Amino acid sequence: MDRKPGHLPKSPKDVLDALIWVKVVGLGNAGVGKTSLIKHFCESQFSPVYQPTIGVDYGFKIEKILGEDLRIHLWDLSGNSDYLEVRNELYGNTQACFLVYDISSQSSFDTLDTWLRELGKYGGLNSEVVVVANKTDLKTKRVISMADGRKWASAHKLKYYETSAVTGEGVQQMFQDLLMSVREREAQKDKRPKSRPSGADRQAPVKS
Ligand SMILES: Nc1nc2c(ncn2[C@@H]2O[C@H](COP(=O)(O)OP(=O)(O)O)[C@@H](O)[C@H]2O)c(=O)[nH]1
Ligand SMILES: [Mg+2]
């Protein structure tokens, strides 16, 4: 369709469809540092949504990964069971999840199994999931060793990261690796054969 001068060369729908959106969710007990990690990654583009109403914090960032601009939405869903319905809604279409515990809190580590089960219940296990041992700056208060953290992660076939939302150590690396895995997974999906045979799949005509 020809467009008059001053109009976008493409329809707004085409422009929107061409953007790459990635939805990332943080999981883990209250207080482990999910919101702080999102804040650190998003810097100024962070808005705490009024917590008592819906129990969600939200961050947005545009980041170049593998040469493409990704529009990244990051959600921290409240650990409070009152918000179960909100969590249920928000898990939908999650592409990546960072599962956080606090290295100075045994109970936050012990609850990782429960969080992983919840993620599975809502279909989130189809997303890229990593384990994050946060608050590494609290060296003298550490009760979960790196070895124990790694052991749990590898038993669940998940990648393990150590971060501090206070010093920023490991934060960018963790999010960038997570986003890279999302894009690599999507690229693999695009490569899978479609139900309609492509030219190469079709049988060559039989010569008579
Ligand atoms: N020392 C230290 N404190 C942290 C770190 N990350 C978060 N906190 C603190 O832990 C508390 C809970 O953090 P928050 O991000 O709200 O946790 P959330 O409930 O998981 O979203 C706050 O007082 C943060 O300042 C960290 O890496 N190191
Ligand atoms: Mg929070």
Residue 168: CA count within 13 A, CB half-sphere: 6
In angstroms, what is the span from residue 95 Cα to ligand 1's centroid?
Answer: 24
If you average pLDDT over residues 7-36, what whole number do you get? 84
Strand runs labelled E in 78-127: 96-102
The partner residues of 99 in beta bridges, in order of sequence, read 27, 131
Mutate to test the pocket of ligand 1, among 24, 34, 36 (most ligand atoms within 8 A of CB): 36
- The alpha carbon torsion through 157, 163, 169, 175 (nearest 10 deg) reads 50
User: Which CATH number applies to 17-184?
Assistant: 3.40.50.300
**pLDDT at 199 exceeding the cut of 60:** no
Q: Indicate whether residue 33 lines ligand 1 (CB < 6 A).
A: yes
Residue nearest to atom 25 of ligand 1 (CA): 36
Ligand with smallest separation from the Cα of 174: 1
Task: Using DSSP, state whether 89 is helix, strand or coil.
Answer: helix
Q: What is the pLDDT of residues 63-80, one digit of tens each?
A: 888 888 899 999 887 656
**pLDDT at 113 exceeding the cut of 50:** yes
pLDDT of residue 5: 61
Backbone dihedral region for residue 32 (phi beyond 0: left; psi -120 to 50: alpha; all else: beta)? alpha
**pLDDT at 126 exceeding the cut of 60:** yes
Cα dist. 148→68, 100, 109, 111, 152 in Å?
36, 14, 10, 14, 6
**pLDDT at 202 exceeding the cut of 70:** no
| Ligand 1 atom closest to 28 (CA) | 20
Q: Which of 69-83, 146-160, 174-188 has the highest mean pLDDT?
A: 146-160
Model confidence, pTM: 0.83
**pLDDT at 53 exceeding the cut of 80:** no
| Ligand 1 atom closest to 134 (CA) | 27
Give residue limits of the domains in the chain: 17-184
